[in-house]
Structure 1
């Protein structure tokens, strides 16, 4: 009887070990699959980040702060590029409060006055700007210039109007 108990215990132990082995093997394989999937996602994300970084670098090409020649020109005038951007932006945005709309915008608004929403400095001379009245919107290029007395002059170069109609 004692032999049969040990034999049953031995078979039970062998079955238990086989069950544990099969169970652990399936868990290991599932974890390997998850690791491989996550590794692929990580590689894809890194690739997307690299491509977005390249796009960002290309987008910064037309930017006052990223243009060495434009920065050198501003410095030769004895000005700081950051302060120039702030000063020009303030002058443009301050004109948004004019009673008949911003005088730099040649279009009349259908739902109110045309106002500038966003500005982007392309270099030491030009700005691209977005404007709207809430219904119609447009874009324009503005030239800014500092004379020998560092007085700021703003000149609209070209503009276009998109209509919601």
Structure 2
């Protein structure tokens, strides 16, 4: 009886060992598959990031910060961030009540205010304006003076209609 008990224990231990061996192999295969999938995802994300960086560099081509020739015109003016300074000055033209004087349209649903600003170079600005329902864009010429004053002139404008 003692002999058959040891035999049963041995068979039971062997079955447990076999089960653990098979399940660990399946677990290792599943882990390797997951690692492979994650590595593919990382590669895809790296490619996507690289494409986004290239697109970002292309978008920054027309910006004052990345235009050394345009910045050379502003050497006389001591500003840490000229684009931000000019954008702030342009936002100051938004009247508390009434339309922005640079926008050549009367607000239909409210007052037209300048919202977004892109300083292209040492002379031009692209700006977006809206009254909450209607919107448009402006091409603005500016001149930065020695006393840090800024003169703005609207060169061209565009108002989007609902159908567009």
Give the TM-score, by structure 2 length. Answer: 0.87
Structure 1 consecutive aligned stretches of length 4 or more whose deviation exceeds 4 Å: 147-151
1:35 to 2:35 alignment: yes
C-alpha contact 1:144 1:153 (8 A) present in aligned 2: yes
Q: 1:98 to 1:4 in 2, by over 3 A?
A: closer
Equivalent positions of 1:12-161 (< 5 A) are 12-75=12-75, 77-80=76-79, 82=81, 84-97=82-95, 100-146=98-144, 152-161=150-159
Shift of 1:81: 5.9
Q: 1:142 to 1:8 in 2, by over 3 A?
A: same
Separation (CA, whole Å) in 2 of partners of 1:117 and 1:80:
23
Shift of 1:152: 2.9
Unpaired segments ≥5 residues, structure 2: none
Separation (CA, whole Å) in 2 of partners of 1:34 and 1:156:
58
User: Secondary structure of 2:121's partner?
Assistant: coil
Unpaired segments ≥5 residues, structure 1: none
Shift of 1:156: 0.9
User: Secondary structure of 1:12's partner?
Assistant: helix
User: Secondary structure of 2:129's partner?
Assistant: strand
Q: Which segment is superposed worse, 53-62 or 99-108?
A: 99-108
Give the TM-score, by structure 1 length. Answer: 0.87
2:160 maps to which of 142, 159, 162: 162
Separation (CA, whole Å) in 1 of partners of 2:26 and 2:17:
14
Shift of 1:100: 4.4
Shift of 1:106: 0.8
